[in-house]
Amino acid sequence: MRLQLFDFIDEIVDVYNKDREIYENANLILINFFTKHFQDKYDAVTSVYSRVKSNESVREKLIRNKFYLKYDNVQDALGNMVDLVGLTIECRFIKDELSVYNRLVECFENHDETYYKCIFNKEMFLNLKMPQPQVQRNGFPNYRIDGFILLDNKKVNFELQIKAMVHSFWSNIEHQVVYKNTKLVTYNSLISTMLSSIKDSLDVVDNQLEIIYNQIIDTNISDKRIGVTPETFKMMVASSINELVSERMLKSVGVTTNFKQCSSMLSQYIYITEFLNAENPALKMVEYFEHLNYLRVNEIDFTKEIYLEEFYHNDIFCKNIGDYWISVMNVDYEWHVFFIILFSLQPGSPIYDFKRFTETVKSLIMPKSWIKDIFKDFNKEDKNKSLNFISKLVSEIIIKQDSLSMIYEETLYNIMNILIELVNTMEKRYKNYNEILEEEQIIYTYLNRHIKALF
């Protein structure tokens, strides 16, 4: 004969399912509210996420917390489940948790002995009388607030938590590794000590991230530049990329490669495209290191073929160099690894990132400020033809070297100096594009000899 408690639990779950749409609607209203008033308006908040409790989770909680003994009817049982809808406001650092909580308090006004009413939504209530932070069963503090929202004359309970990034990560560790682990493991003092040590280490990580955040960005400068030198910034990014490649490549194919020079170039590329003119470099910086950390714990398949949409570029240098890279990226494994990492670091459109990388390489060889000032005595048409002439020759000579070192910072810098010296001579020697064209072979020989010597 089946125990009656399971009939009661089934009845609770059935009623919960019938009202599921109400819970989903409440969840949508709540996530929109906290996104609008916190994530969109408060820099310390990195994200707002939520969930509606699954049937399995409801059933598990009913049994674990012995609701079948505490309540006689379904509505009382559901009414006392405070986390059927759960929301988390995730902030950047541990110190931000208190400031987010204080900001939350400012959005509510006293309603009765227990609850405060939201000043922006009169149907939303929070129990701000609860002491914060709450002490969890593991002994660690956590900002957790009970609340409810009135929807279609129904009271829908929700639980709101405020967590720093490292605390969110810690919660996932506990939930997936400890509480969801069904294997028979004695939870002894050693395991408890190790978990506590991991928690302490995450607190140290939080402190280190905050130091990095504060040192990299000088919020007082008016031009919004990064607060450390470009060299320091690029060194940090290059080091992270190099470690990422070593770890992920070893796991994917069992071998690794010397990626240091490529890491330096990628850090230069990231600095130029993502941070140099960013409106909020502080946020961009933290997001980028978060993305690097994400890549370090996820698979990167170095064996898969790279597929790109059809590539075309109006600039002759970018077109030539881009066509070459496409021809080798699935043939030469060094190039393959490089572009796998490039597209992993820039999780947008691969063809867009590919085009932008060709443009960045050209800008390092032929800076726009330099292009603007050369061949000033030529008419506009002759100047453009002369620039295209040089771009074509340089790209063809670089491609002929067939070497990954063509993208190394030192190589690009040296090619730039060769071009500067060449153009200085050309400006003195030639009066128009036709004169340049007449000595094409001489110019080609000069460029080829000097560029080839770099490889």
Full DSSP string of 391-447: HHHHHHHHHHH--GGGGSHHHHHHHHHHHHHHHHHHHHH-SSHHHHHHTHHHHHHHH
Q: Which residues contact 169 (CB under 8 A, 6 or more apart)?
A: 202
* Cis bond upstream, residue 281 (ω within 30): no
| Average confidence (pLDDT) per 10 residues, the chain, 455 residues | 80 89 93 90 87 89 85 87 92 91 92 89 93 79 93 90 88 66 54 71 75 59 46 75 78 74 82 74 71 75 85 92 92 86 82 91 90 87 90 92 87 91 89 88 90 89
Q: Is 286 exposed, middle or buried (0-12, 13-18, 19+ CB in 10 A)?
A: buried
Q: Which residues contact 377 (CB under 8 A, 6 or more apart)?
A: 427, 431
| 348 and 325 Cβ atoms separated by less than 8 Å | no
Pairing of strands 141-151, 124-126: antiparallel
Give the Cα separation of 72 and 190 in Å (integer).
41
How many Cβ atoms are within 10 Å of 14's Cβ, its own excluded? 11
Model pLDDT for residues 194-210, shown as the tens digit of each residue = 777 777 777 777 777 77
Q: For position 321, what pLDDT does the model report? A: 93
- Three-class SS of residue 147? strand
pLDDT at 138: 65
Q: Which pair of tokens denotes residue 319?
A: 């077109």
In Å, how far are 264, 268, 334, 340 from 261, measured between CA atoms? 5, 11, 12, 16
Q: Retrieve residue 411's tokens.
A: 């190589």
CA distance linking residue 377 with residue 380, whole number of Å? 9
- pLDDT computed for residue 189 by the predictor: 62
Residue 58 burial class via C-beta count within 10 angstroms: exposed 0-12, middle 13-18, buried 19 and up: buried
Amino acid at 394: V
pLDDT in tens, 328-371: 988 888 888 888 888 888 767 889 889 999 999 999 999 988 88
Query: What's the pLDDT score for residue 318?
Result: 94
Pairing of the two strands 116-118 and 124-126: antiparallel
- CA distances, 345 to each of 239, 279, 394 (Å): 14, 20, 28
Q: Where are the alpha helices (DSSP H) in 52-91?
A: 55-64, 67-70, 74-79
Distance separating alpha carbons of residues 410 and 389, to the nearest angstrom: 24
Supply the pLDDT for residue 146.
94
What is residue 159's predicted lDDT score, i.e. its pLDDT?
95
- Domains and their CATH numbers in the chain: 4-165 (3.30.460.10), 230-296 (no CATH), 316-331+348-452 (no CATH)
> Cα dist. 118→111, 215, 280 in Å?
9, 37, 31
CA distance 146 to 164: 19
> What was the pLDDT predicted at 371?
87
Quote the CA–CA distance of 373 and 49 in Å, as a whole number: 52
Question: What letter represents residue 75's amino acid?
Answer: Q
- Look at the block and give the residue holding tokens 């443009």: 359
